[in-house]
Each structure stands twice: as C-alpha cells, then as structure tokens.
Amino acid sequence: MSDSRFENVAELIAEARQGDAVCRDKLFGLCRSYLEIVARAQVETWLRAKVDASDIVQETMMEAFRDFEHFGGKSEQEWLGWLRRILAHNVADFVRRYRGTAKRQARREVPIRGARDSTAAFGVAEPAAPCATPSQAYLQIDTELRVTAALATLPDDYQEVIVLRNLERLPFNEVAQRMERTRPAVQMLWMRAIKKLQEAMGEEGERITDEG
Amino acid sequence: MKDDPQRLDLLDDYLMQLQAGLRPDRAALLREHPELASSLKCIEALEGLAPPAAEIDSLLADVPEMPRNFGPYELLEEVGRGGMGVVYKARQIDLDRVVAIKMILASHLASPEHIRRFQIEARAAARLRHSNIVHIHEVGQCHGQHYFTMEHIEGESLAERLARQPLAVEEIVRLVSTVARAVEHLHSQGIVHRDLKPSNILLDCENQPYVTDFGLAKVFTPGSEATATGVIAGTPSYMAPEQAAGRNAEVGPAADIYSLGAILYELLTGEPPFRRESPLDTLLDILSREPRLPREINARVPRGLELICMKCLSKSPTDRYASAAALADDLERYVQGEPLAVRPPHLGQRIYQWVRRQPALASRLGALGVFYLVEIGNYHYGTVDWAFHLRITSLAAAWALVSIVCQQFVGYQRLAVPARFVWGMLDSILLLIVLLFVADGAASALIVGYPLLIAGSGLWFHVRFVGVMTVLSLISYGILVVDFYCWRLNLQDHFDTSYARHILFALSLIVLGAIVAGLVQRLRMLSNFYGRPLP
C-alpha cells in the first residue's frame, strides 16, 4: 500500500471496505481536521458565539465508523459528502439542544446510493470554476482536505480569524468584535493568516510529492 | 509590507464577491497582480468549506419552531446570544406574564461544583429588589438545561444605544448616576457585579437603565482551579486592573466602580479606555498605562466629568471613589453645579500620570534632562566654554523636539509602527552626532547611550524593532571607531588603541540585543498563551 497522503483516498476506501483496519484508521484520521474545521464553522455560524465543537466531531466520527459498511460510494467526493451529511445532522441536533428543544430528531438513515446529490446540496462546487471537468473536481477535493490539514497547523488566532472571516463569512467589523481587537488589527492578522496558510498548504503539497 | 493595504483591499474585495455569490474575474485580477495567485487559491478553497447557510436551516426547518414549550414557559422569540447562552423572550403560562429566559450553555456548567455555584449565585441575585436592577424570578433546570428567568425589559442595551448615536452629556450623567445607585444596592447586598459593561445595561422605552447579569460573572470566570486561559476571560476593556490581572481575591466593589468609570469614559468619548490590537497589549495597558484624557479625544467633555471619570479609572482601588454611592453623589453634584468631592490631581500625580501615559517620551526627556543638568554644571564651573555650551543646548533641544514630534506620530494608530522605527533611527543618528561633533567619539563615556538605546527598544515589545536598534547601534559605533583611528590622532596618545576594546564593546551590544530580544520573545509567547480567547 502506498503511503501517499491524499491521492489515494479512493484506494483507502476500497481497502478499508475489504476489511483492512489500518487503511480504515488512516481514512478516518485523514478527515479529522476537515471535520473539526467544518463543524466549528457550521456551529459557530449558527450560534454566533464561540463553541467547542469537539463533541460533535467525536460523535460524527463514531457514527461514520459504525455505519461505514453502509457507505456505498467510491470517490473522495462521495466520501466527504457522506461525512458532511452525518456531521450536518449532529450539528443540527447540537443547535436544537442548545436552543432548549430537547426533542432529538429521529436519525434518518443516510441514503446509501444516490450519493451524487451531496455535491450540490453541500456546496462543494467552487464558484470560480463553475463547469469543473472530472479532473478539476478531483483536484478540488484534494484541495479541501489539504486546506483543512494546513489550517489545523496554524496558531490559534490565525485559525480563528480565518474561520470567522472566511468560513463564517463575518465582515471584519464583527470579526474585530468577536476577537476583541481593532478592525485594522484583525485585517492585518487575516492577511498574515492567509499568507501562513498558503505556506502551510505548500508544505503539505510538498509532503505529498515527497512521500508519493 | 508597503503594499499590504492594497493587497488587503484586493483580496477582501475578491472574497466579498465570492461570498455574495458572484463570480469574480480571477483571470483579470491575476493579469494585473500575478503574485496573488496562491492567495486566491487559498481563499477559494476556504470558500468551498464554508457551510451554506441553507444547509443547517433546512435540517432545522422540519421542526416546528414556535411556539415551543419549555417547562412552564412558552418561548416566544430569541432576543440575544452571548458567551454564556441564549436569551429568549418567553411567556410564563401559569402566571401569564412575559419574562426573559436565559439558557446556560452546557459547556459553561461542566462540573457538579460549577452547577452548585451557579445556583447559589443565581439565588443570591434573585433576592435583590431595586427599581434599576433586572429582577431574577426563578432558577431552574428543565430537560437537563439550566436556565434562569428574569424580568423582560422591552428596549435595547446601552451598547446598542451607543452604537446608534452618541448621547448628550446630561443624559450620560443621568444614566451613569442611576446605574451607580443600582450598583450600590448590589454592593450593599454583598454582590459584586464583576462584568459591568454597556451590553449589560438595558434601557427601557423611557430610557431608564437596568443592570443585568450581575454576580454570575464569578461563576463563569474560572478561579484558582481553572485553566490559565481564564486569566483574561471576559471583556478586558471594562475590567479593573486587579481583575484583568486575575487577582480574583482582590476583586471587590472597587472593581465595579472602575467599570462604571470605563462606561462613563466610553459614553463621553465613544471608545473604551483601553482597546489594543492584542489581548496582551490591552492587558499591559490596563495594568500600567493611563488612558488618554477624555478631553483629548472629545474637547466638548466637561472638565468636571473628566475628573470624575479618571478618578474611577485609578489603578489602585483605594484611589477610586469609596463607594458607588459616592460616585453617584459626585455626578449629582456635577448636575447641580455644586463643588465636586473629587479634587484635580496635584502636580506630582499629574507628572506621574503623564509619565505612564507616554513612557517612551518621558524616558527620553528624563535622560536628556539629566544629561543637560550635568552639562550646566560643567558650564557653571567653567570646564567648558560658551560656544560648546551653546552647541550642547541646541542639540539637546533638537533631540527633545524630535522626541515630542515622534510621540505625536506614534499616537496615530496608522503610523504607530513606522513612527517607532523612524524614532529609533533618529535617536541613533542624534547620538552619533553628539558623539562625533560634541564629545570625543569612541573615546567618550557617552557610548553608554548605545546599550541604553537597545535596552529601551525592548519597551515596544517587538523583536524586530530590537534587532533593528541593535544593528543601527553597531553601524553607528563602527563609524565612531573609524573616526577614532582616522581623525582623532590627538586622543590616541591618551587612550588604549587596541582593537580588542571595540570588538568587546560591539560583542556586548550584540549579546545585549539578543537578551532583550529573547525577553520580548518570551513575553510574546506568553501573550499568545494567555491571550487566547476562551472556548
């Protein structure tokens, strides 16, 4: 089995389905920081406050692990879409609980087939490249995992400013309020964070080519 | 770095178009600015991760939202969210009255001990009755959700009010003195608010203020057992120094008086006393700096109110008003036009406060003053002639002037960083001029100025700045050494001419620079550690 990190998510899925525990762990490990960042952005967008999303991630990972045999997709894209849907249910539960509605919605089975719709429903499509060819779509997923892995390596305040500005789509005024800094200061911080992220993504990229 | 504002505008503009659902013309942008390629890629990748708002909304949509029953309450609408939890407007069904209900976020009540403390504090708060305090009705738990209910005030918070438009001076005085009376009532019942700020003061339709969220800050601010990150939890801008520093044992009624002063300050000037780029800078300022005088920010602030405000903002709790009532009394005296209890600071205090307001300028003027006094002594006893004295005087005056001008520029937020570098550069140039043309160059005892410059540069807390000052000092000293061997032949007879002396001096400058930079670096790391916002 090759050790390259991202090119072979599809392979990892196939191996894991054959019952290879190492590959399965690897597959899940790979997606952890992706789930962490997406979960945090979703919950915080909704609650407009800083929230610890680690429970949601934990729950999502466990459920994905448990229901792995029900996952019928092959590609990375299908895989991330599937994870994202389990995550969305957990986020919705969390938000509902937070709002005092304790009634937990009966969990709907995540459809096994027809994973195609996930792309459209979960906004994976990149606005800048509206008519993505298959190879572009592949690269794009590659970027999604890579950007979250890189983001996870940044210092906390860099992560926070990116999550607030890019993922929660807050204007700089509100970012400044949430971080209790001045607007010019968070703008500077954002510039530096983007720069650092670029570098970190470069490194992740190099690691892939080195290992691959 | 100099292209940063433009770069920021371009990237932000691009991001805003993406977020608005437009398709920005990447190719066109890249033709003009090819260097942005990887930044754009980053931004697009991040945008791909952002949750579409519809995603969660659609999942929640199939649950009927309102009315929802929560124990004996019917939730009507959400009225606010904070770090602690969500506040709803709700109807208490049995009594048929409208209340505000605050749900406490589960992660804030992690342990049974936490829950117990929350309930004790909330019950203590529920015993209070005052016409300007939001009355707490009930504390409870429903479906595992901790909550408390309180009087519902139809209106807005002082923070929202302030964001809309500035208030008139009479209105400010009335509000702050009313709030101070309410806080006095809290204190008389043994409760310290600990988190007074504009968003915790509600205004009803008749602009009557109501204090809310009192006492609970203690429960949610971790004490001794808590994580280190708890130290600057909350809103440092309105926090008393003893509270911001985490000396929880010292936090008493005087901390609330400080917060009242900070609120008065913001109402008068439109900004809180201290708000800096990073939490560490804000904290350091709260601990050791004086805020700018309100009249420097807004010339229309009456002198009397400035005095009252600055007395509340004293660093030492004992220098503040003895009680919230004393503050309210003084505010009422101000309205009546009677003489105030607060006295203007005497000369000594004024000088001390000025030094704390502008330490960089004060230290330079102080050093120049000492230097000039020695020089006057020399002149008086006839060791130097008139022409020399004149040169020294004009140089000292020029240096003082440069410092004052630079301090002005450092005061502007946009110029603060470049102004520091220019200031440092001018300092080392002026020292070089003094040494070359007034003193004996490398042979003069005044070369101690270099270690002083390097040590002083640490006060800005920037590693890069310390590095620049060290390099500047080395270059400047190098010029002195060249000058010594080429042109000061007369001195060479009297002084040690070996190179070892200069090498030693230069090396110690480097070591000093490294030590100062190391200390600053450590402080920065602490800042990152402590400065993290609470989860």
Query: Contact at 8 Å (CB) between B19 and A171?
Result: no
Query: Counting one residue from A and one from B, how many pairs have CB atoms under 8 Å apart?
Result: 176
Average pLDDT on B294-304 reads 89
CB contact under 8 A, A157 and B532: yes
B276 interaction partners in chain A (CB closer than 8 Å):
181-182, 185
Q: Does B278 sit within 8 Å of A194, measured CB to CB?
A: no
- Determine the Cα–Cα distance for residues A14 and A1; give it in Å rounded to an integer: 12
Please list every residue in chain A whose beta carbon sits closer than 8 Å to the beta carbon of residue B107: 51-52
Above 60 in pLDDT, residue A130? no
Looking at residue B1, its pLDDT comes to 46
Kindly state the average pLDDT of the residues B382-390.
Answer: 82
Which residue in A50, A145, A166 has the most chain B C-beta atoms within 10 A of its own C-beta, making it the best mutation to test that interface?
Answer: A166
Cα(B391)–Cα(B438) distance, integer angstroms: 8
Considering only the beta carbons, identify the residue of B42, B105, B277 that sits closest to A185: B277
Q: What's the DSSP call for residue A167?
A: I
Residue B485, pLDDT score? 86
Nearest to A91 among B4, B56, B144 (CB): B56
B245 confidence band (pLDDT: 50, 70, 90): confident
Of residues B331 and B385, which shows the higher confidence score? Answer: B331
Query: With contact defined as beta carbons under 8 Å apart, do A12 and A56 qualify?
Result: no
| B61 and A160 Cβ atoms separated by less than 8 Å | no
* Cβ–Cβ below 8 Å for A96 and B41: no
Span B72-92, mean pLDDT? Answer: 76
Cα A98 off chain centre by? 22
Find chain A residues with C-beta within 8 A of B531's C-beta.
157
Q: Do A146 and B45 touch (CB under 8 A)?
A: yes
- Residue B320 is predicted with a pLDDT of 93
Interval B210-244: pLDDT, tens: 998 775 656 555 443 333 333 344 457 788 888 87
The alpha-helical segments, DSSP class H, found in B157-278 are: 158-164, 169-188, 216-220, 241-244, 253-269
Catalytic residue among B25, B57, B96, B195: B195
Alpha helix positions (H), chain A:
9-17, 21-47, 54-66, 76-98, 117-121, 134-152, 156-162, 172-179, 183-211
Determine whether the interchain pair A179/B82 forms a contact, defined as Cβ–Cβ distance below 8 Å: no
CATH numbers and ranges of domains, chain B: 4-61 (no CATH), 68-151 (3.30.200.20), 170-205+218-351 (1.10.510.10), 358-531 (no CATH)
Least confident of A139-143, A200-204, B179-183: A139-143
Among B26, B60, B535, beta carbon nearest to A128? B26
Tokens standing for residue B434: 């003094």
Partner-chain contact A167 B46, CB within 8 Å: yes
pLDDT (0 to 100) of residue B218: 60
Which residues, 6 or more positions from B12, have their beta carbon under 8 angstroms from its beta carbon?
A: A172, A187
Calculate the average pLDDT of chain B: 82
- Residue B511 distance to chain A (closest CA, Å): 29
* Residue B29 banded pLDDT, cuts 50, 70, 90: confident
Predicted confidence (pLDDT) per residue in B477-501, tens digit: 999 999 888 888 777 777 777 888 8
Of A48, A144, A191, the CB nearest to B8: A191
Question: What is the distance in angstroms between the Cα of B216 and the nearest Cα belonging to chain A?
Answer: 18
Q: By CA distance, what is A37's nearest residue in B?
A: B49
Give how far A212 is from chain B: nearest CA, Å.
22
CA distance B96 to B29: 61
DSSP state of B270: S
Q: Out of A40-44, A107-111, B231-235, B336-340, which region has the weakest mean confidence (pLDDT)?
A: A107-111
3-class DSSP state of B105? coil
Taking CA atoms, what residue in A is nearest to B525? A155
Q: In chain B, which residues have their Cβ closer than 8 Å to the Cβ of A42?
A: 51, 55-56
Which residues of A fall within a CB distance of 8 Å from B147?
100
Cross-chain Cβ contact A101/B236 below 8 Å: no
Average pLDDT over residues B360-388: 85
pLDDT tens track for B395-433:
889 999 999 998 888 877 677 778 888 888 998 898 898
pLDDT at A152: 84
Beta strand ranges found along B49-166 (DSSP E): 68-70, 73-81, 85-92, 97-104, 136-142, 145-151, 155-157
pLDDT at A135 > cutoff 50: no
Q: Where are the domains of chain A?
A: 1-125
Q: Which of A100, A140, A157 sits opposite B103 (nearest CB)?
A: A100
Residues A123, B63: C-beta atoms closer than 8 Å: no
Q: What is the pLDDT of residue B262?
A: 94
User: Does the beta-carbon distance from A194 to B145 stay under 8 Å?
Assistant: no
Q: What pLDDT, on the 0 to 100 scale, is given for residue B215?
A: 58
Mark whether B94 is an active-site residue: no
Q: What digits encode the pLDDT tens for the residues A23-65?
A: 888 788 878 888 888 888 887 777 766 677 788 888 888 888 8
Closest-CA residue of chain A to B141: A100
Q: How far apart are CA A47 and CA A108, in angstroms?
A: 24
Q: Which of B418, B446, B425 is nearest to B505 (CA)?
A: B446
Average model confidence (pLDDT) across chain A: 70
Render pLDDT for B97-114 as a digit per residue (tens, 0 to 9).
Answer: 889 888 776 656 667 777
8 Å CB contact of A42 and B51: yes
Test B18 with A155 for CB contact under 8 angstroms. no
Query: What Rg, from alpha-carbon coordinates, does chain B have?
Result: 30
Split at pLDDT 50, 70, 90, the class of A118 is very low
Contact A100 B68 (CB under 8 A): yes
Planar angle of CA B228, B230, B231, nearest 5 degrees: 80
* Residues B516 and B464 sit within 8 Å (Cβ to Cβ): no
pLDDT confidence of residue B109? 63
Residues of B in contact with A197 (CB under 8 A): 42
List the end-to-end C-alpha distance of chain A, in Å, as a whole number. Answer: 11
* Chain A interface disruption, residue of B7, B42, B70, most A CBs within 10 A: B42
Kindly report the backbone phi and psi dihedral angles of residue B148, in degrees, each rounded to the nearest multiple of 5, phi listed first: -140, 155
pLDDT at A123 over 60: no
**Residue B204, SS3 per DSSP:** strand
The predicted pLDDT at position A33 comes to 83
Closest CA in chain B for residue A147? B45
- Among B49, B275, B278, B527, most A C-beta atoms within 10 A, so best to mutate, is B49
Per-residue pLDDT, B244? 78
Phi, psi of B417 (to 5 degrees): -70, -55
Enumerate the residues of chain B whose CB falls inside 8 A of the CB of residue A181. 276-279
